[in-house]
């Protein structure tokens, strides 16, 4: 009987030692935290270019001005609108009243990948009936402002 008791005691001691080793291992496990950082890119303006000719403007008339947009950002953008402003006239026609010119805003919805150029778009420029004779043969310039957002 003593041998059986001794065996049971040895087995119990071995099981207890293994259990204690498992608990000891668990007590040595650890975690940690740290910090990291990153920086955001800065958006760059779209390149807007007239892509064809527009001529034949007259009082109560209109002409379509074709343009394209190039996304110079490192991320895709979705275009929202195009608007013409800051009309001016060539120096040889300085008496022309550029207030007779206007343009219809254009809703856009193209999504351009980084570095991509849009298909040709059109903005319509109009000349109202208040245009005076000094506007005949004039060359007009204006800004085309395109808005959009990352997307």
Give me the residue spans of the domains in the chain.
1-28, 47-150
Instruction: Give pLDDT tens digits for 2-43.
Output: 666 666 666 666 666 656 555 555 578 888 999 999 999 899
Q: With 90 as the cut, is the pLDDT of residue 121 above it?
A: yes
Instruction: Give pLDDT tens digits for 97-118.
Output: 999 999 999 999 999 999 999 9
* Structure-derived torsion over alpha carbons of residues 84, 90, 93, 98, reported in degrees to the nearest 10: 10
* Residue 1 confidence (pLDDT): 58
CB 89 within 8 A of CB 135: yes
Instruction: Give pLDDT tens digits for 45-76.
Output: 999 999 888 899 999 999 999 999 999 999 99
3-state DSSP call for residue 17? helix
Tell the CATH topology of 47-150. Immunoglobulin-like (2.60.40)
* Residue 26 confidence (pLDDT): 55
């Amino acid at each position: 009987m003593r041998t059986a008791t001794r065996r049971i005691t040895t087995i119990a001691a071995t099981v207890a030692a293994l259990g204690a080793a498992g608990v000891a291992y668990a007590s040595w496990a650890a975690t940690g935290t740290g910090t990291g950082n990153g920086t955001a890119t800065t958006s760059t303006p779209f390149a807007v270019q007239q892509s064809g000719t527009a001529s034949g403007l007259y009082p109560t008339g209109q002409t379509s001005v074709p343009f394209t947009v190039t996304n110079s950002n490192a991320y895709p953008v979705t275009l929202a609108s195009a608007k013409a402003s800051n009309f001016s006239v060539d120096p040889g026609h300085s008496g022309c009243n550029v207030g007779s010119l206007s343009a219809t805003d254009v809703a856009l919805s193209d999504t351009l990948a980084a570095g991509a150029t849009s298909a040709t778009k059109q903005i319509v420029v109009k000349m109202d009936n208040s245009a005076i004779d000094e506007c005949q043969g004039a060359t007009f310039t204006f800004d085309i402002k395109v808005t959009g957002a990352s997307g």
